[in-house]
């Protein structure tokens, strides 16, 4: 089947090449052709080679695959929380039919976000590529997949569209496109939403879909005792240090509950197991750096442990291991901090960069109740500082060698 | 027909409006451009204040230019500007109290506005009063139009109003439209200023291209 597809692609290729009648659409054709097959343009046989002719689409596809478990679980969780809120689903007694119903609900709820994110982002990318006569850059493949996973499920679609357009234009294209961006584009999308429409991005109304989707299950009354606040949201607004986190129906959450991820939050961030699966794939294929990933967790753990010593507020008193599994910490550490474009590139720099992400994230959580989740701000801040870290590492290395000589 | 303005005077006035705009080309006065553009009304009052002050200060300094000793010229310029700023500030407090409160410290900070010192040093110290007046007027208006454009977008998208009047119908809000809070932040004003610079350079293709 693949051979046949290859023949078709090769047969229509001349139409798009220089002089062909569809040459105007070369970048679109090239985009899809190299998406399917390894490009037929290996690195030139001159000089020393650091990289081979591998297309970065291959790398991107690995990341997308790694995100799939988190997305599938996110879909189920969206449906699970909805039916929990309407009382249709009984906690601890999920039947097979109920499982699929919850999954279908989540799928239908999340699908529009995926479509909007890709439509807007790829639309801009394709337009810019055609306009500048460049190849279509593949960076948005991952960004478009990340965006639906890091926003609350109740975010209006038009907001997602505006934020995606803003991020792609101002965080990426103005810097020169894929590979030249300073900031993680998906996180800029989220940051734009967060600062432009704060009422839709935080609080206890946005993380659980209480209304139906596509007209299915609209206007249900919610069960007594329902609360859509995320665990970190509860901690940030807790009156004293002894407050306990609880799930949507008010029963307390243990470490295992937090790792299983059946609690309100941005779509893809809740389940640690699903994220761990993705992390495993990224580490085995060598796409993400284990140094960055590990040091984010170490940085977060150490800082949270230090706050545990004071324990003055509910956030500070939350055990350090809970901090690492709640909210977007794990998701950010695995999929955002390791972004090869925006993270530090020197090997020592990766440790510093990761450690400081974890540290800043916990500091934001603990010291600023206005931002219950610190991961987004921490990664964006460190994106800013990554070149500086690299510069320092390189300089230290140079002066060391100078002394040795 | 005799020309209304000589070529030099015309250049002094027209240059700063477009090709040599103080904000989008010389990147001066950015700080106040970000701070006072949340509402169109404030931005226009600020623009008018700067225009008046820079035009009058230019005239005064230009008239005194041959008697100011070179070594203390900056302090003389500052004294003239400070006097004018105090005047404008007092007038605003008397007749436009609410705007004066909204602009708060930024009226006083016109003293340190780079556009003013720049024009005094670069133009008024070496040109006649009439040309200097037109130069000051041009620079002030060049500053004002950039502020007005930024403030128009920010007020429209950030508060849904123009000059304080709501222009986005209630119908939109009832159907889920929400004002963009990002527009209320100086960060977005900087991005808008960047967009204006971008458009300006794309239109005026004379920028040195390497």
Mind listing the pLDDT tens digit for each residue in A11-59? 887 777 777 777 777 777 777 776 666 665 555 666 665 555 556 777 7
Q: Examine the pLDDT at B210 and tell me if it is beyond 60.
A: no
Residue A151 DSSP label: S
Q: Which residue, A184, A201, A218, sits at the end of a domain?
A: A201
Cβ of A156 within 8 Å of Cβ of B185? The answer is: no
CA–CA separation, A391 vs A13, rounded Å?
44
Give how many domains chain A has, as a whole number: 2
> What is the pLDDT at residue B1?
44
CA–CA separation, A11 vs A9, rounded Å?
5
Tell me if A63 is assigned to some domain.
yes
Q: Examine the pLDDT at B114 and tell me if it is beyond 90.
A: no
Choose the closest CB to B178 out of A170, A192, A200. Answer: A200
Q: Looking at the structure, do residues A300 and A197 belong to the same domain, yes or no?
A: no
Residues of A in contact with B178 (CB under 8 A): 156, 159, 197, 199-200
Strand partners, B166: B161
Instruction: Report pTM.
Output: 0.86
Residues (pLDDT < 50) of chain A are: none
Residues of A in contact with B176 (CB under 8 A): 156, 158
**Residues ≥6 apart with Cβ < 8 Å to A345:** A386, A390
Q: Is B191 on the interface with A (CB under 8 A)?
A: yes
CA–CA separation, A322 vs A232, rounded Å?
10
Mean pLDDT of B129-154: 93
Kindly provide the ipTM of the predicted complex, given to two decimals: 0.84
Of B176, B172, B164, B151, residue with least CA distance to A197 = B176
Reported as a single tens digit per residue, the pLDDT across A325-363 is: 988 899 999 999 998 889 998 999 999 999 999 999 999
**Residues ≥6 apart with Cβ < 8 Å to A110:** A71, A74, A75, A78, A148, A153, A267
Q: Is A169 on the interface with B (CB under 8 A)?
A: no
CA distance B29 to chain A (A): 23
Residue A11 DSSP label: H
Structural contact between residues B181 and A196, judged by C-beta atoms closer than 8 angstroms? yes
Strand partners, B162: B165
Tell me if A336 is assigned to some domain.
yes
Cβ of A196 within 8 Å of Cβ of B181? The answer is: yes
Structural contact between residues A140 and A125, judged by C-beta atoms closer than 8 angstroms? yes
Angle between helices A56-86 and A96-132 (to 10 degrees): 140
Burial class (CB in 10 A: 0-12, 13-18, 19+), A165: middle
Tell me if A32 is assigned to some domain.
no
Q: What SS3 class is residue A264?
A: coil
Q: Which residue, A173, A201, A229, sits at the end of a domain?
A: A201
Reported as a single tens digit per residue, the pLDDT across B75-94 is: 999 999 999 999 999 999 99
Tell me if A42 is assigned to some domain.
no
Tell me if A216 is assigned to some domain.
no
Q: Looking at the structure, do residues A180 and A63 belong to the same domain, yes or no?
A: yes
Q: Examine the pLDDT at B168 and tell me if it is beyond 80.
A: yes
Q: Is A157 on the interface with B (CB under 8 A)?
A: no
Residues of A in contact with B175 (CB under 8 A): none
Domain range for A351 is: 288-405
Q: Which residue, A166, A201, A236, sits at the end of a domain?
A: A201
Structural contact between residues A134 and A28, judged by C-beta atoms closer than 8 angstroms? no
CA–CA separation, B55 vs B143, rounded Å?
12
Strand partners, B192: none
CA distance A163 to chain B (A): 11
Give me A191's structure tokens.
């940051």
> What is the pLDDT at residue B98?
87
**Start-to-end Cα distance in chain B:** 42
Q: Looking at the structure, do residues A168 and A301 belong to the same domain, yes or no?
A: no
Structural contact between residues B12 and B137, judged by C-beta atoms closer than 8 angstroms? no
CA-nearest residue of chain A to B158? A196
Find tokens 């963009």 and name the residue: B180
> What is the pLDDT at residue A87?
84
Q: Is B181 on the interface with A (CB under 8 A)?
A: yes
Q: Looking at the structure, do residues A177 and A305 belong to the same domain, yes or no?
A: no
**Residues ≥6 apart with Cβ < 8 Å to A188:** A166, A167, A170, A171, A380
> What is the pLDDT at residue B29?
85
Q: Looking at the structure, do residues A191 and A298 belong to the same domain, yes or no?
A: no
Cβ of A198 within 8 Å of Cβ of B181? The answer is: yes
């Amino acid at each position: 089947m693949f051979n046949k597809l290859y023949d078709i692609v090769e047969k229509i290729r001349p139409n798009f090449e220089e002089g062909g009648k569809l040459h105007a659409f070369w970048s679109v054709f090239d985009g899809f052709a190299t998406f399917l097959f390894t490009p037929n343009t290996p690195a030139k046989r001159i000089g020393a080679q650091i990289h081979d002719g591998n297309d970065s689409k291959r790398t991107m596809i690995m990341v997308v695959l790694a995100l799939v478990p988190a997305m599938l679980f996110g879909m189920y969780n969206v449906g699970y929380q909805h039916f929990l809120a309407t009382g249709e689903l009984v906690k601890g007694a999920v039947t097979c039919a109920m499982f699929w119903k919850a999954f279908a609900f989540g799928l239908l709820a999340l699908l529009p976000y995926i479509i909007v994110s890709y439509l807007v982002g790829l639309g801009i990318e394709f337009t810019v590529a055609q306009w500048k006569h460049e190849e279509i850059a593949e960076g948005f493949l991952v960004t478009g997949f990340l965006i639906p996973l890091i926003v609350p499920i109740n975010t209006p679609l038009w907001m997602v569209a505006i934020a995606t357009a803003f991020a792609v234009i101002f965080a990426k294209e103005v810097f020169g496109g894929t590979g030249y961006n300073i900031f993680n584009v998906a996180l800029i999308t989220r940051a734009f939403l967060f600062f432009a429409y704060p009422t839709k991005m935080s609080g206890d109304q946005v993380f659980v879909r209480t209304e139906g989707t596509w007209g299915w299950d609209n206007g249900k009354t919610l069960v007594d005792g329902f609360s859509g606040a995320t665990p970190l949201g509860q901690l940030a607004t807790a009156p004293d240090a002894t407050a306990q986190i609880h799930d949507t129906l008010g029963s307390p959450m243990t470490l295992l509950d937090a790792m299983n991820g059946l609690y309100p939050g941005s779509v893809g961030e809740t389940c640690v197991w699903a994220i761990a699966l993705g992390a495993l794939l990224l580490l085995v294929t060598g796409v993400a750096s284990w140094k960055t990933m590990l040091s984010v967790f170490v940085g977060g753990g150490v800082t949270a442990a230090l706050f545990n010593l004071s324990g003055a507020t509910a956030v500070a008193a939350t055990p350090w291991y809970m901090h690492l599994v709640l909210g977007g910490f794990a998701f950010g550490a695995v999929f955002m901090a390791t972004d090869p474009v925006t993270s530090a590139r020197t090997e020592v720099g990766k440790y510093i960069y990761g450690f400081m992400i974890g540290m800043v994230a916990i500091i934001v959580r603990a010291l600023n109740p206005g931002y219950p989740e610190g991961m987004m701000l921490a990664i964006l801040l460190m994106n800013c500082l990554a070149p500086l870290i690299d510069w320092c590492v390189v300089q230290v290395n140079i002066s060391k060698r100078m002394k040795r000589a | 027909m005799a020309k209304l303005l000589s070529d030099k005077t015309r250049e002094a006035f027209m240059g700063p409006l477009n090709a040599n705009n103080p904000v989008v080309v010389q990147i001066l006065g950015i700080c106040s451009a970000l701070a006072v553009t949340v509402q169109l009304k404030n931005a226009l009052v600020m623009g008018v204040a700067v225009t008046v002050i820079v035009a009058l200060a230019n005239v005064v300094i230009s008239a005194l230019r041959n008697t100011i000793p070179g070594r203390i010229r900056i302090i003389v310029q500052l004294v003239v500007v400070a006097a004018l700023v105090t005047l404008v500030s007092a007038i605003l407090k008397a007749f436009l109290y609410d705007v004066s409160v909204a602009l708060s410290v930024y009226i006083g900070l016109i003293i340190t506005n780079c556009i003013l010192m720049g024009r005094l040093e670069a133009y008024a110290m070496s040109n006649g009063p009439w040309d200097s007046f037109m130069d000051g007027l041009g620079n002030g208006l060049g500053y004002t139009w950039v502020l007005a454009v930024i403030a128009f977008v920010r007020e429209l998208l950030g508060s849904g109003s123009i000059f304080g009047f709501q222009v986005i119908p209630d119908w939109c809000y009832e159907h889920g439209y929400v004002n963009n809070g990002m527009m209320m932040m100086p960060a977005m004003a900087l991005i808008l200023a960047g967009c204006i610079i971008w458009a300006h350079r794309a239109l005026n293709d004379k920028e040195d291209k390497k």
